[in-house]
Chains A and B, each alone.
Chain A
Amino acid sequence: MENEIKTTETESDSEIREFTGLFDRQAFEATHVNYITPEKCSFTDCKGYLTMTDKAGGGGPERVMLHLLFPYSSRRTLVSVLNGSQEEIGLISDIDLFEGDDLAAIEKEIDRKYFIRTILKILEIKDKNGITTWRVEERAGDTEDVADFSLKDTYGSIFKVDEKRLLITDQDGNRYEIPDIGALDHKSYRRIELYL
């Protein structure tokens, strides 16, 4: 059988070449960006998820997911559009290229995926055997509240995005941000300073 396979390999040269060509084409597609623009596609919010309609290609709306390429520094530029198999269909260079319902649908999907609360004030941080429990005043959308959360590995859970901005991920995976560490009140700053 081994000999037979060898023979087949020789005879299947063209298929191998064809496959190489296909692979090269896939590699080319993977390395060349397909920009999604309002002329090509439209987006619809389906009460909790997003669909995209390819205007040029025809066909019905397809469920898509969005993935921010620079989630910390930009929520509006370089947004990858993925299909159900998590493969990239294309890239939105700037969501502001879209308008009206399209833009609103995109924004809603980003908000759903990258939901984040803003910390306004740190009321208390208690450190018990390496697990810190936090009590903060936070804002999500237009709702302000006092929230408690805990960090299992405090240092590892605080990510300094830049000189000003901090991102905190609690033990459940919820995200909180402090947009400007310098704008915190003195007491809040003193409380968090130790973990920076």
Chain B
Amino acid sequence: MLQISRLGSEHQTVLTEHFSDGDVRLVALADLDRNARPAETVLALVGDRLAVITGRIDLVKAGDLRRAPGRVFAEEDFFEAELSDVKRIYLEELISTARLMAETSEGLVCLAVSSFSRRNDLLLFVKYYKKAVAGEDISGDPEDFSPELFCPRCGRRYMYAASKSCPYCESNAGLFRKFGIFVKKYRLQLMTMLGLLLLVSGIGVVTPYFSSAFFYDKVLTPGNQFYGKVIMVVLIVAGVSILGIFVNMAAKIITAKMAGFLVYDLKVTIFESMKRLSLDFFTSRQTGGLMTQINEDAASIHWFFVDGLSYYVVSIAQILVVAVIMFVMQPYLALLCVTVLPLFFWLALKTLRKQHYYHFKRHASSRKFSGRLTDAMGAIRVTKAFAMEEQECEGFEKVTLGLADTARQITIFRNTAPPALHMVMFLSTLLVWGVGGWLTMTGRMTYGFFAAFLSYCGMLNSPLYSLADMMDSFADCANAMRRLFEIYDAEPGVRESDRPVVKEAMEGKVEFRNVCFSYEKNRRIIDNVSFKILPGQKIGIVGHSGAGKSTLANLLLRLYDTEEGEILIDDVNVKDLPLDFMRRNISIVSQETYIFEGTIYENIAYACEGASRADVVEAARSAGAHEFIVKLEEGYETKVGAGGHNLSGGEKQRISIARAILKKPRILVLDEATASMDTKTERMIQMSLDSLSEGLTTITIAHRLSTLKNADRIIVIENGRLYEEGTAKELILQDGIYRRLYLLQTAAMKNIIQDPEEQRKAIAEEEKAGENRQKTAAMLATALGE
């Protein structure tokens, strides 16, 4: 039996009750009933029958109270059909549920409804049901049931199988371990820095002994070996202090250099990680938010390393050394001094958590602020056109207020929490003063010894104060690190194959085989599309807006991966081809052109490093861009993009085409690439592309049928499905979508030249149209040589 969902004993029991012969071949669970109420639905393929048992789980108290209550399946509904009566079963994806339907000889039947948590189980049930009906093996394919696809701890399916990372079971300890990978490169500098900082701590610890206990008790007290050697002591103290200053400076210089390089590495790695990610990562996030993430977070980490890390190292070392010295000097007083430490650390931990919370909140506000700002800047034209400046300002004011509010909270907390912690430690100093003073007055302790102890007491408190003050910076840094690793760890939706098929050259043969795809889970954009393109063929794709034409281009380029089915290039699945090979050999020009900041030359040569000027000019000429570039004062060296020369939509498209042509691809995809051009320029570019594209596979996506005039074959896409395929001539003869589009576009042109009188006549003629239509269809068919 192939168990798609994990069955409990209650499910096993109900199956055994119904099918004692035990020939259950396939079973899955759904979690709602047909009215979308929480329930348990068992779907089973038993022998030659399809069965659905719906019910609820009742908890029954065990006789022994120490045992967990038993689970009993309370059956409410049972459906059964012979496989011969079931024509097909299929899954309908609704907004947040999936509905399993069956076409039976009795009519349409809803087998089960499930939340999306069990959607995958139902999809697998449909898959293996079909296999079983076809007489194929249903022992379970490794791609569906390999143990590597599931978390061994909780049994959940991994979100990204390749990463084997389960968000429910992974711990947070990995954060600093991951950061360790970056620090490893600088371990020599880090060790030197730590050594120097420890030396600074040591020097700091020795100084009070010479300046107080040794000075009062050995130098100023008669009868001692060092009595009267004041200058020597002053020189020792001065020398040690100066040494301390220089060592500290050296440590700071090393830290600053290391922090700079470390953050540089971090930024580069994060940017590289971002480039590795697929489009869906960027489309699901506000770009402003991402910019904030990289800039602000890297800065937080940098400043923590420059300012905070050295303080932490010195402070912790100092606390340990001073505590040991104090215990050696006077254990009872030392004990008194550290009594308040547990309270201090408890409060410090609470403070850290609170600061962590505030920084998280500040980041959220800052993200919202950046997102709003980016949005407002991008939409400035629309805002002005609709006179919405005031409303936009109000919205902006709201997010700014949110940010200011969080900043205020952080500042208040930053300024009030550390003094509270200082006060706790001051309590210990007061205790030492009282008890130590009494011991000195009663002659149990010398004045010098007491003065030295008090200095050490101060030296214990001072790093603790520093730690309290720096806690804010630590919380900020930890938060920033977590967010940056969020990008670093993100798994790309499109992954390069572990063992890619290496090919020297691409021929340009393309095949879509039963391709299905959706951007969102419940909205299929491409539905079972299949077609073939031979090398060098020119294919046109037409369809209404939103039909899924551009998605086909995105899938071919592997900007997204297919959900079902496969795309083959030269008979190899695109998932097995190296991404670099694919993108080197396929060029796409889309309607949404992007011009980078730089010269026109740089923009055209973008994907062809080292392209000669002559090559660039030639490509521009072929793309019809040369015509307007020569009219610019600085020619190909005209600055374009942000702050540069303003290009029209058509000019941008021509530069994009030139960029694509220069790459000398084997497959060229023109996705409404000439939509912003006038008909003359479009025709000119088409002629030029025709001459260039000998042996080049060209896929042209267009609304204007005239754009596809020279296509060898046209594919008509509607609602994500391939409806028609053939030459323009063949498609006009069919009474389908292409013909309707053709008539509509021709009609639009006719209306331009008709005067009002003619139009009135046309309306009158419409009444006779029923008869005329038949007549004209016959004439049209004869004229086209049907």
Contacts and interface: CB of A to CB of B under 8 A. Distances in A.
Interface of A: 1, 4-5, 7-9, 11-21, 23, 46-49, 63, 71, 86, 108, 111-116, 126-133, 140-143, 145, 148, 150, 152-153, 155-156, 169, 171-175, 193-196
Contacts of B766: 17-18, 21
Contact of B776 (A11, A129, A142): A11
Nearest to A20: B747
Interface stretch (B29-37, B219-227, B690-698): B29-37
B110 A17 contact: no
Nearest to A68: B95
Contacts of A155: 285, 289, 364, 367
A176 to B, nearest CB: 9
B647 interface: no
A71 B743 CA distance: 38
Given A15-B772, A172-B115, A193-B361, 7 more contacts: A13-B750, A23-B740, A112-B94, A115-B95, A173-B119, A194-B357, A194-B364
24 contacts: A11-B780, A12-B776, A15-B743, A15-B769, A15-B777, A16-B743, A16-B746, A17-B765, A20-B743, A23-B747, A48-B101, A49-B99, A71-B95, A112-B35, A112-B94, A112-B99, A115-B96, A127-B482, A128-B170, A128-B172, A129-B170, A132-B167, A153-B285, A194-B357
A115 B115 contact: yes
Contacts of A142: 37
A8 B784 contact: yes
B116 interface: yes
B110 A140 contact: no
Contacts of A23: 740, 744, 747
Interface in B684-719: 719
A154 B165 CA distance: 17
A150 B762 CA distance: 61
Interface of B: 32, 34-38, 94-97, 99, 101, 108-111, 113, 115-117, 119, 159, 165, 167-168, 170, 172, 284-285, 289, 357, 360-361, 364, 367, 482-483, 485-487, 489-490, 520-522, 719, 729, 740, 743-744, 746-747, 750-751, 762-763, 765-766, 768-770, 772-773, 776-777, 779-780, 783-785
Contact of B97 (A63, A113, A126): A113
Nearest to B34: A48
A171 B159 contact: yes
Contacts of B170: 128-129
A20 B766 CA distance: 9
Contacts of B108: 46, 49, 63
Contacts, number: 181
A28 B772 CA distance: 23
- Chain A residues touching B, majority SS: mixed
A15 B740 CA distance: 11
Contacts of B172: 128
Contacts of B289: 155
Contacts of B763: 21
Contacts of B94: 112-115
Contact of B96 (A7, A86, A116, A148): A116
Contacts of A195: 364
Contact of B99 (A48, A172, A173): A48
Given A4-B785, A8-B784, A194 B773 contact: no
Contacts of A140: 37-38
Contacts of A173: 96, 116, 119, 520-522
B323 to A, nearest CB: 36
A114 B284 contact: no
A5 B485 CA distance: 63
B110 A172 contact: no
B167 A133 contact: yes
B364 A131 contact: no
A130 B747 contact: no
